[in-house]
Amino acid sequence: MRMFIAVPLPEEVIRSIETVQEKCRPFDLHMKWVRPENCHITVKFLGEVDPDHIETFSGALQELAPKTAPFDVVFSELGFFPRPRRPRVFILNAPQAEKLTRFADALESRLRTVSPPRDKCFRAHITLGRFKSGRNLSLLKAALEKLHAAYRVPVDRIVLYQSTLTKEGPVYEPLGSFLFTGKDSGKE
């Protein structure tokens, strides 16, 4: 069973992502675009997991979510991952995401006995597409300054998803949704 933990996106952000993708299509990029309705903010990719661990994942989220106050994250930079020179992924990045990073770190710590550790620091982003090759990448890079994308995403819940890979693309099924109901300490 393939799983991940993510923040869902509101409908208006999903529609805006679709607009950004449409503006990029004329560049004839060799890219597999993420279906806008599948866009989300991955907090922890779990990969293939033993179904017996679902309770552990849910328990960690049930423990952390009520201690976390809702907050917003601003996504404002289109870019590439992991390196701009040879990117594999086209992303919308959130340069200032301290609260989400703290939550991701707390979750990482809580799941360390049942999930492999992250190999890199958490980076809040939304994946827009995955490059199959670098064809016409220079056109996209030149246009990035003109492609404005800035969205405020309310983070008021975290969702445990099952991901099923199909020929048409992945299908995501929510297995549990956990509301952030903590009080805001006022600290960023």
Structural domain boundaries of the chain?
2-179
The model's pLDDT over 74-130, given as tens digits with 9 standing for 90+, comes to 999 999 988 888 899 999 999 999 999 999 999 999 998 888 777 778 999 999 999
| pLDDT for the residue 188 | 47
Average pLDDT over residues 147-176: 93
Taking 90 as the threshold, does the pLDDT of residue 170 lie above it?
yes
Instruction: Evaluate whether 133 touches 112 at the Cβ level (below 8 Å).
Output: no
| pLDDT for the residue 187 | 47
Tell me the CA distances in angstroms from 6 to 14, 94, 100, 156, 167, one per residue in order: 15, 15, 11, 11, 23
Q: What is the residue-averaged pLDDT of the chain?
A: 92
* Domain boundaries 2-179, corresponding CATH code: 3.90.1140.10
If one compares 142 and 155, the residue with the highest pLDDT of the two is 155
The model's pLDDT over 42-72, given as tens digits with 9 standing for 90+, comes to 999 999 999 998 999 999 999 999 999 999 9
| pLDDT for the residue 185 | 56
Torsion of CA 138, 140, 142, 143, to 10 degrees: 170
Q: Give me the active site residues, please.
A: 40, 125
